[in-house]
Amino acid sequence: MTSFPIRRWVKTAAITTAAALALTACAGSGGSGEPGPQTLKFAYFSGENTSFGRLWSWWMDEVETRSGGSITFERFWDASLLQGPEMVGGLRDGRVDVAQVVPPMYPGKFPLTSVTELPFVSDNVPAGAAAIAQLARENEAVREEWSGQGLEPLAWNIAAPGALGTTEPLTGADDLRGRSIRGIDRSSKVLGAAGANLVNLDVNEVYTGMERGLIDGFFGIPFAFVGPLKFQEIAKNYTDVGMGITTANALAMSEKGWDSLTPEQQQIMTEVSAEVPAKLAEFDGATEDATCEAVKAAGATVTRFPQAEIDALRAAGEEQVRAEWVGEVAGSGVDGAAFYEEWKAAVAAGEADHADYELGMTRCTNGTAGSR
């Protein structure tokens, strides 16, 4: 399976040709008929050295190289241009040209895409990224969900199982009761069902929130992010609670921005995006292993709930969270139960394509980090 941008299939070749001609006319006075180079503003709310930051750096480098310099990027990291919840508006009004959009930051706007947040489906990160790309390509309702926001997804990543980072060690589901945990996605709601108090904080607010004692822990942040964000300084316990992959994020442009590219430029982005799931596994794995080394050097522990405790957590909240999601999707006229099965089937196909993948948190727990 490959990952490439959603295309508005109803557009005619005449419209595409007209857009290309308009670009050519604006390309300068050289008269060669070739479009002039474009510099696109890229924004991401987190760091360049996170696994997602490294992924998007690679994506931009490849687009620049393969386009022969007809596309270049001005890069803004660490929310230096826009905060996470501002990306959709910034894409639509032109403050940014390319940005990672995180659906949980826009409640109710991307209900179908949020199927990836339903827990206990898979631990396989590249399989999940390939699966949501497949649905974005083949499912009309998903395409309309993004088009309705004026957006054109280019490539997809997906968060590895979130490490539950806490100040105190946890041995099972009952230990969550009464603890204030940062959590903004649907998997986090399972923790809430088990008795945790969920707190809505952006990634760049977690460090100070932990430092000031506003929260007892954080969830929904990939383990690979812990090292680059130096979270091992504020949380000494990391637990894999067995809920699997979660939030899918789209590297996106506005529809207007996408249409401003030539067909050749669009094809280059499409080709690079097709390689994203495998590159995500590569960058995730390397960063997870580095994080494992960093957290252990800081005296932190990495463990996994025993299967009985995972089952207890699942019993506490999985059905409730999935039923809530199905109800939300029904409001958009989609059979949520059927779509959930379509999602699981796509993930299973992705697992077959990425059968050699191993989760970095598993390697860290087993003492085999760095052995990939």
Q: Residue 215: what are its φ and ψ, rounded to 5°?
A: -135, 155
Two structure tokens written together for 258 = 């996408």
Is the separation of the CB atoms in 161 and 13 below 8 Å? no
Coil, helix or strand at residue 1: coil
| pLDDT at residue number 184 | 85
Average pLDDT value for the chain: 89
What does the angle CA 323 – CA 215 – CA 106 come to, to the nearest 5 degrees? 45
When comparing pLDDT for 86 and 108, which is higher? 86
DSSP letter for 149, please: T
Q: Residue 198: what are its φ and ψ, rounded to 5°?
A: -85, 140
Query: Regarding the domain with residue range 163-244+286-366, which homologous superfamily does it belong to in the CATH classification?
Result: Bacterial extracellular solute-binding protein, family 7 (3.40.190.170)
| pLDDT at residue number 169 | 95
Q: Enter the CATH code of domain 13-116+142-159+248-275.
A: 3.40.190.170
Cα dihedral 222, 228, 229, 234 in deg (nearest 10) = 90
The average pLDDT across 173-183 equals 96
pLDDT > 80? residue 239:
yes
Q: Residue 321: what are its φ and ψ, rounded to 5°?
A: -65, -40
pLDDT > 80? residue 36:
no
What does the angle CA 295 – CA 100 – CA 44 come to, to the nearest 5 degrees? 60
| pLDDT at residue number 50 | 87
What's the maximum distance between 2 C-alpha atoms anywhere in the chain?
71
pLDDT > 90? residue 185:
no
Give ranges for CATH 3.40.190.170 in the chain: 13-116+142-159+248-275, 163-244+286-366
The average pLDDT across 191-198 equals 96
Label residue 370 by pLDDT band (50, 70, 90).
low
pLDDT > 50? residue 138:
yes
| pLDDT at residue number 82 | 96
Quickly tell me which residue has 């050295």 as its tokens. Answer: 49
Label residue 1 by pLDDT band (50, 70, 90).
very low
Quickly tell me which residue has 């979660």 as its tokens. Answer: 246
Label residue 224 by pLDDT band (50, 70, 90).
confident
The average pLDDT across 9-16 equals 36
| pLDDT at residue number 32 | 33
What is the model's pTM?
A: 0.82
Two structure tokens written together for 17 = 């040709």
> How would you class 112 by CB atoms within 10 Å of its CB: exposed for 0-12, middle for 13-18, buried for 19 or more?
buried
When comparing pLDDT for 5 and 88, which is higher? 88
Two structure tokens written together for 160 = 């590895």
The average pLDDT across 67-92 equals 97
| pLDDT at residue number 214 | 96
pLDDT > 80? residue 20:
no
The average pLDDT across 256-284 equals 96
